[in-house]
Amino acid sequence: MRMLVLGGDGYLGWPTAMHLSAVGHDVSVVDNFARRGYDRELGVTTLVPIAPLEQRVWTWQRVTGRRIGVHIGDLTDSAFTHRVVDGVRPDAIVHFAEQRSAPFSMIDQQHAVYTQMNNVVGTLNVLYSIAQVDPRIHLIKLGTMGEYGTPNIDIEEGWLEVTHHGRTDRMLYPKRPGSFYHLSKVHDSHNIEFACRAWNLRATDLNQGIVYGQETGETASHGDLATRFDYDAVFGTVLNRLVVQAACGRPLTVYGTGNQIRGMLDIRDTVECIRLAAESPPEAGEFRVFNQFTEQFSVLELAQLIERIYPGPVRIEMMENPRAEASDHYYNAAHRRLLDLGLRPHYLSDTLLDSLFAIARRHRRHVDARLFTPTVRWTAEPDPVGPAVASLAA
């Protein structure tokens, strides 16, 4: 298949592009390097160094003999997006290219507006391009489990059958997300579902949980092919952060009670889920939703697991939660459909954690421990809080 990977320079987009290329698909990537720009704004860097995109692609071709096409530009530019989709004429578009940090979207009004503009407008441009170039193109869109929030009922895969006053209908599952970032994904989902209904497009919305890990078969095959590994309080996700904190002998930062439960998955399963979704497309007009995670954990369970297996002293620090989120809640989310397509999950194991500890220890001299402290609060105050954010405002 011919595949276009939007956000192909990112944490997940780059390993996915290589994975799809490795199994024989003809892959091109799109990126505007916004993510490398957020690093500069925040004064942070990925713990594992990453090569420039041109070098990544060049090394991939040298190592495997396979070519990955590159298109540099911004999806919020409708002419650029249309030009790329029309030029490549892909069978499937995998859309990772959004601002993906909840804390980043909550820094202040400017960052909330940027996040929703970037994400919602970019996705709208992709939808229009598909409808105008070829409605048969399968859109595989990265959503998030956080779209659902933490309802007091079981979470289904995208849809819910509701009986109200004696009448029954199949409705999009009600959403109650916890940040302006997560809300941008809800808006995307509704826009995509409408485009499928109105224009007969075909789409898979992957409500992905929190990804952990840094290596796939492809990223590990050459230093230039590595993907990023974030540990700062804005872009670092919880398990990746706790691993780096343990490796640096710093306290593990558990927000609130630590009883927040989330669905999670290994980065090797992310790239495989995308392949599975791409190779079994939905029908024309179908808006299909898969919950893309393999296990659920509370934050405290993750911290205690690390405390138990890390070969050195570990201290857990229960700290005030900078976010507005439910701490003690019911959580039971369906996640069958990718398993039915053939996903064979890598469950969180001591071996995986040992390999992550090794990666963190290898690079720990570059860790800036100030970045472990959360600086963004879920307030509407006009002034940014904290040193990392102050540099952004400047």
Please tell me the distance from the alpha carbon of residue 6 to that of residue 369, in angstroms, as a whole number: 32
DSSP summary character for residue 24: T
262 binds ligand USQ per the rule CB under 6 A: yes
* Site mask for ligand NAD (CB under 6 A), range 77-96, x = bound: -------------------x
Q: How far is the CB of 274 from ligand NAD (least distance, A)?
A: 10
Taking phi over 0 as left and psi of -120 to 50 as alpha, with beta for the rest, 268 belongs to alpha
Does the active-site annotation cover 185? Answer: yes
* Site mask for ligand USQ (CB under 6 A), range 99-128, x = bound: -xxx--------------------------
Q: Which does 11 bind (CB under 5 to 8 A by kind): ligand NAD, ligand USQ, none?
A: ligand NAD
Does the active-site annotation cover 216? Answer: no
184 binds ligand NAD per the rule CB under 6 A: no
Please, what is the Cα angle at 37 between 378 and 203, to 5 degrees?
75
Q: What one-character-per-residue DSSP string does 343-379 give?
A: -------HHHHHHHHHHHHHHGGG--GGGGS----S-
CB-wise, 43 or 285, nearer to ligand NAD? 43
DSSP summary character for residue 121: I
Which residue's CB atom is positioned nearest to ligand USQ?
Answer: 146
**Among the listed residues 19, 25, 35, 111, the single contact to ligand NAD using CB under 6 A:** 35
CB-wise, 88 or 338, nearer to ligand USQ? 338
Cα-to-chain-centroid distance, residue 279: 21
Please tell me the distance from the alpha carbon of residue 164 to that of residue 252, in angstroms, as a whole number: 46
Round to the nearest angstrom and report the end-to-end CA distance of the chain. Answer: 45
Residues whose CB falls within 8 Å of the CB of residue 262, separated by 6 or more in sequence, listed in order: 145, 209, 210, 238, 296, 297, 299, 331
Closest CA relative to residue 376, chosen from 388, 367, 364, 368:
388
Does the active-site annotation cover 181? Answer: yes
Which residue's CB atom is positioned nearest to ligand NAD?
Answer: 10
Q: Which does 260 bind (CB under 5 to 8 A by kind): ligand USQ, ligand NAD, none?
A: ligand USQ
Q: What one-character-per-residue DSSP string does 105-152 give?
A: HTS-HHHHHHHHIIIIIHHHHHHHHHHHH-TTSEEEEEEEGGGT---S
In DSSP terms, which residues pair with 123 in a beta bridge?
Answer: none
Q: How far is the CB of 168 from ligand USQ (least distance, A)?
A: 29
Q: How far is the CB of 127 from ligand NAD (least distance, A)?
A: 14
357 binds ligand NAD per the rule CB under 6 A: no
**Among the listed residues 92, 120, 133, 238, the single contact to ligand USQ using CB under 6 A:** 238
Q: How far is the CB of 118 from ligand NAD (least distance, A)?
A: 5
Q: Catalytic residue among 76, 115, 144, 253, which?
A: 144
Q: Catalytic residue among 38, 115, 185, 331, which?
A: 185
CB 123 within 8 A of CB 203: no
314 binds ligand USQ per the rule CB under 6 A: no
Residues whose CB falls within 8 Å of the CB of residue 365, separated by 6 or more in sequence, listed in order: none
263 binds ligand USQ per the rule CB under 6 A: yes
Q: Which does 386 bind (CB under 5 to 8 A by kind): ligand USQ, ligand NAD, none?
A: none
Q: Active-site positions?
A: 144, 181, 185
Q: Can you give the binding site for ligand NAD, defined by CB under 6 A?
A: 7, 9-13, 30-35, 74-76, 96-100, 118, 122, 142, 144, 208, 210-211, 237
